[in-house]
Structure 1
Amino acid sequence: MLALAAVFTGCSTGGSAEPVQGPVIVNRVIPLDEPRPLGRLDKAEDAEAFGEAFRQADRLRGIPDVGPADYEIRYEAGGEPKQFRLWLGSSGGPGMLMEKSNTNTAYEIDSGVSEDLRQRIASIRYRTDRAEKNGDVIQGPGGTINVQVWHRFMEQVEQAHPASVQLALYTDEGDPIFHNLEYDGRSVHYLFDNSEDGYGSPDKVFETCERILSEPRRTAKPGWTGKVYRLDGCSDHGEGGGGRFEFRVEEDSRAL
């Protein structure tokens, strides 16, 4: 969660007044892993909104006590690349940004601007074709796609080799709920993120778990085998975090 613990210095970023050139590239920030692509905003008004938010943000004295950012934003202004991390905080509250090239300086954006950027990012539709192209493990009403990516991840875990995977589990309405797992050779770092679910209460939970457990599960299809994977030994195991992860896999056992 975003908790601004610093005070204003009374000046803005001093960013260039040059018009912003789109597209605006939006990546999700994953703690302890590389950012994952979410999508892009191609409208000129979207690009200018992000540029204006950066130009008008108020500099903070010191470095606020915050966790990982929500998003990484990239665009061009005056022909020069601009890249910053963006914290949107809780709904109705202020946000914060920080240039990726200068992590010693942070800037606050007011609640209205933060909410406007939140809505613009929410307009990005992370559909299954994009998720498949990005190498996600996908599961939803239409079945499971890229299950081999999950199996490769589990093979690395079993061999104690660092690995990461992103699961996009789709609701009946077609919205993704992200589950990011990053294995460092000893522990599993887990991020639950349903901020792209238009029908739920946006929430992000990050925690560390000891292991991934699997157990057989019955299937309704003769000749098929099934497993369910869960996290165990989590720092806040239960509804607050690891307890939200449950991945069910069914496979044709004749093809194994």
Structure 2
Amino acid sequence: MQGRTFMEDLLIIPLEGCDLVLGNNGMKRHNPTTFDYEKRCVIIGRKTNKLVFPALVEGSLKMLSSGSIRRILKKGHALIAHLFMMSIMPNASEDPPDVVVQEMIDQYAKVFDEPKSLPPMRSLDHVIPLKHEAMPVNLRPYRYNYNQKNELEKQVKEMLTSGVIQPSQSPFSSSALLVKKKDDTWRFYVDYRGLNDITIKDKYPIPIVDDLLDELCGAIIFSKVDLRAGYHQIRMKREDVFKTAFRTHA
């Protein structure tokens, strides 16, 4: 290093991000070791016989999500990081919304309310036609860890309170599970693959993309509807509700 030869006992490991890591034992053999934070360098040895290692890059802070850190670690890169808990505090000095916008929010306040009941029955309620002589699907629940059990109980209780689900003695039973979302919260799922296997498929032809593009030609405004808990916005035919029964842990 820097024109000088050193003899060191090294361990060969699959390390990415740097070529050599000089540990405490190696630095002790070449005492003293000084960290000069103003000049941003590390000095090993004495004045007449020393090595100076300047910083290669300017330091900078970058906020990463848990998903980004997980991907970096999977790639095996060397990583030095400071971990801080970040929380977003409401800004009391935020300007109030425009009068016209506020009037619209007040007029359609029900749109932003949390649903407390099922939507009304309509002409296009969901149906589950079963194949001829199909037997009820009855599957055992998955295994869950302690935290997942608590989360399942919490979400099931919320759905019972809102009327989305109800207790059942149905011969059908699918398994419930939780899937981690990008924001580290849990999404409640029911594994209906067994029910799908005995259901008559609703074969609807997929629209031709070119026809859709022709219809949109010349359009200026494009909009879409993103409903909260969209699947809960569609009612199930009363005679088919029992087929959607699910089970969690005991």
Greater share of residues in strand: 1
TM-score, normalised to structure 2, is: 0.17
TM-score, normalised to structure 1, is: 0.17
